Amino acid sequence: MTTPAKDGRRTGFGRLAVLGLQHVLVMYTGCVTVPLVFGAAAGLDTATIAVLINADLLVAGVVTMVQGAGVGRFLGVRMPVVAGAAFTAVTPMILIAGEYGLQAVYGSMLAAGVFGLLVAHPFAKAVRFFPPLVSGVVITVVGLALIGVGVNLVVGNDPEAADHAAPSRLALAAFVVLVILLVARFGRGFLAQTGVLLGLLAGTAAAVPLGLVDLSAARTADWVGVAAPFHFGAPEFPAVAVLSMCVVMLVLFAESTADLIAVAELTGKRLTTADMARGLAADGLSGVLGGVMNAFLDTVFAQNVGLVTMTKVRSRHVATVAGGILVLLGLFPRLGALVAGLPQPVVGAAGLVMFATVAAVGVGTLRKVDFDGTHNLLIVAVSLGVGMAPEVAPDLYSRLPDGIGIVLGSPVTSATLLAFFLNLAFNGGTPHRGPGPVRAPQPEGRRRCASGADGTPATEPDGLVRGERWDTGPGRVDHGVQSCAPVPPEPSTSHRPPRTSSLE
């Protein structure tokens, strides 16, 4: 826990480094799990997965530094947010790799990054078209679609292998889940947020006597280095692959929007449409950098939003330092090789918990949708059913043209498109739901509405105040934001939110 600081006071680099390291530890497991899962599903060897891990950390660090420090008027929200690899892109990437190869994976990612940079500002103005009805369906499908990937890592991807679904693999996975549960149950504060990381470490230690830890790639890896751009060759741009990744980019925008609003509320920042656009443009930048450096699409990590809530440290410089630490970690190939050598049952068990958490959060988001007297239940049912169909019947679209199969065969892509267009058709883009519709950031104005269970008025300078709880991504904190009608100023009675500590 940090010591409160007065506004305007800066802190030494030592304390900034400690606080930044906290953020890195909270997000590290989620960040490296994406290349581990993708690499295993794509059949890559340990050395190549290590390359992906280092590139992933490097790009995540650069994007985090951009979000914290900002780059001119175009990039970075200038708030304490940390970016990391998104689970949302994993399933489409696996499908594209299987159909077109890794050059198409990173070519389509590069194109999606350019697309994200171009549409960041329009999306910031049109965020109402991705309400909880749409985002809840998408997040649920993201989690459900990845559970099978986690299970395959636990039992083994080769059904003919001697140790396929061996009791030792199942026991090791169960041990990892048990450690995660124990840390969550008995851990406190920061420790409770590192359960998955501790589960990975404990599981790896337990796997050593079983002969499941392979560190051969780490012994030959360089200590310092950077992966060469376009490691897998010149990028390729199949139209359907590009379309699929552009849809994923829009989904990431919806996730990041919710987290950016939450952080703005926690820090008291007046979040304008321009601020939101700069924050989303950083997600687009991750696509460009990821396509070049063989990394992944990044989004704002909700785990770190929770850490801001816990520590009450709202300085954006902490996020900038955290980004610098991630960049440094990405410059040590031997570290990436060590992580790539983690036993698959251990990675699969940790991934299983994280993927199921994503699905559960999506269900929680859908709880905020009004299903009474509307078509929303039908929209959710059709989107989930059609989206998950390829997971239970992999050959469902095998006789269709390859391009169509890539789009429809991705649960994330098909569910997103269905939920989006069905919402437009039945609700005109804004579904009927409970009080406090989430709206795009307001450029100016002062509004007042009820905040908290006691209904105490709270005046905020940006028109965004605490209200409906809107959980829209893995590990999301409760943070919904609601719009309310302008009220005349009441200087003598207005209630201001409590101050949080600042390092600026």
pLDDT of 260: 86
Alpha-carbon distances, residue 407 vs 114, 230, 245, 295, 296 (angstroms): 20, 25, 10, 22, 19
In this prediction the pTM is: 0.73
Are 352 and 200 in contact by the 8 Å Cβ rule? The answer is: no
Alpha-carbon Rg of the chain, whole angstroms?
22
Using 50 as the pLDDT threshold, list the residues of the chain that sit under it: 1-9, 433-440, 442-504
- Coil, strand or helix at 456: strand
Cα dihedral 187/188/193/197 (nearest 10):
-40
pLDDT of 116: 96
Query: What tens digit of pLDDT does each residue of 283-320 get?
Result: 999 999 999 999 999 988 877 776 676 666 778 888 89
Query: Which residues, 6+ apart, have CB-to-CB distance to 189 below 8 Å?
Result: 1, 310
pLDDT of 291: 95
Nearest-angstrom CA–CA distance, 28 and 330: 12
Helix (H) or strand (E) holding 481: strand 481-482
Are 243 and 407 in contact by the 8 Å Cβ rule? The answer is: yes
